[in-house]
Amino acid sequence: MHNEQLATFEQTIGYQFKNRALLLQALTHSSYANEFDQTLENNERLEFLGDAVLELCVSQELYLRFPEEREGVLTCLRAQLVSEAALADTARSLGVQKYLLLGKGEENQGGRERDSILCDVLESVFGAIFLDGGFSRVNELILNLLSPKWPKSGKFKKNKDFKSRLQEITQKFFSDRPRYTLRNSFGPEHEKIYAVQLSLPNGQQYHAEAGSVKKAEQLAAQKALSDLKNTGPSS
């Protein structure tokens, strides 16, 4: 990717990198590195970091915006703001898909428009900005990018996802939250499948597989909700 393209992307997101190699890494999917240049670092490690940075930034802002709300409400609001679909929508609004480096196989599978990939690359960009400019700068950028999506009150609870709904139930009945563990991943890079285990506070476990960790977690939570609806919580 040429420096001119990277510079255009920097203008779009409103941040100029001191170390532009971090931005290139954030935009490099593992399928591209595997197919074209294995010396390139892909964005998986940055995505891991960016996910944590994003959660902290959003958590802090919700904590400050809604001082009267309880943890359960704040958790639901955060889940909506950082959901895969919401982040993919933000990525598309920035045109991230135009700058993403993908392998041919992933490209042919429609990866450039896939929610999971767009979500991950946006989180990778957040991780890169954190390393390049520090927490204050990435926090400012995240709050600005998410500004159209910020709830105006803690009563904003529409369209809760399965994980959010399950956490509300486990907090209510067990005073604890569900735990998600990545148990395995398999398949080629452009079609990798992730296996997730969900453990409820009462010891019940559920398993799910999907093309991203986030989707697998949602599927596992959906299974748990269906089970709890039919049998009710048990200690």
Q: Across the beta sheet with 193-199, what order do the strands follow?
A: 179-186, 193-199, 205-210
pLDDT given at position 157: 47
Per-residue pLDDT of 194-235, as tens digits, reads 999 999 999 999 999 998 888 999 999 999 988 887 666 665
Same domain flag for 95 and 133 = yes
Same domain flag for 16 and 95 = yes
Same domain flag for 234 and 151 = no
Q: Say yes or no to pLDDT of 170 above 60.
A: yes
Active-site residue, 217 included: no
Same domain flag for 150 and 86 = yes
Same domain flag for 137 and 175 = no
Same domain flag for 118 and 25 = yes
Same domain flag for 20 and 91 = yes
CATH number at residue 105: 1.10.1520.10
Same domain flag for 133 and 194 = no
pLDDT given at position 175: 85
Q: Interior CA angle at 159 toward 154 and 162, to 5°? A: 105
> Is residue 100 within 8 Å of residue 117, measured between CB atoms?
yes
Return the closest-CA partner of residue 25 out of 7, 10, 6, 43. Answer: 43
Please identify which of the residues 47, 61, 123, 161 carries the catalytic annotation.
123
* Residue that finishes a domain, picked among 155, 175, 192: 155
Q: What residues make up the domain containing 86?
A: 1-155
Same domain flag for 27 and 42 = yes
SS3 145: helix
CATH number at residue 215: 3.30.160.20
Q: Say yes or no to pLDDT of 64 above 80.
A: yes
Mean pLDDT of 86-105: 91
Overall domain count for the chain: 2
Mean pLDDT of 32-58: 90
Mean pLDDT of 40-59: 94
Per-residue pLDDT of 118-158, as tens digits, reads 999 999 999 999 999 999 999 999 999 998 888 877 664 44
Same domain flag for 60 and 149 = yes
Active-site residue, 51 included: yes
Please identify which of the residues 47, 51, 84, 120 carries the catalytic annotation.
51
Cβ atoms within 10 A of the Cβ of 203, count? 8
> Is residue 62 within 8 Å of residue 77, measured between CB atoms?
yes
Q: What is the 3-state secondary structure (H, E, C) of 84-141?
A: HHHHHHHHHHCCHHHHCECCHHHHHCCHHHCHHHHHHHHHHHHHHHHHHHCHHHHHHH
Tokens 């927490």, residue located: 135
Amino acid in the structure at residue 124: S
Same domain flag for 84 and 20 = yes
Same domain flag for 151 and 165 = no
Where does the pLDDT of residue 172 fall: very low under 50, low under 70, confident under 90, or very high at 90 and above?
confident
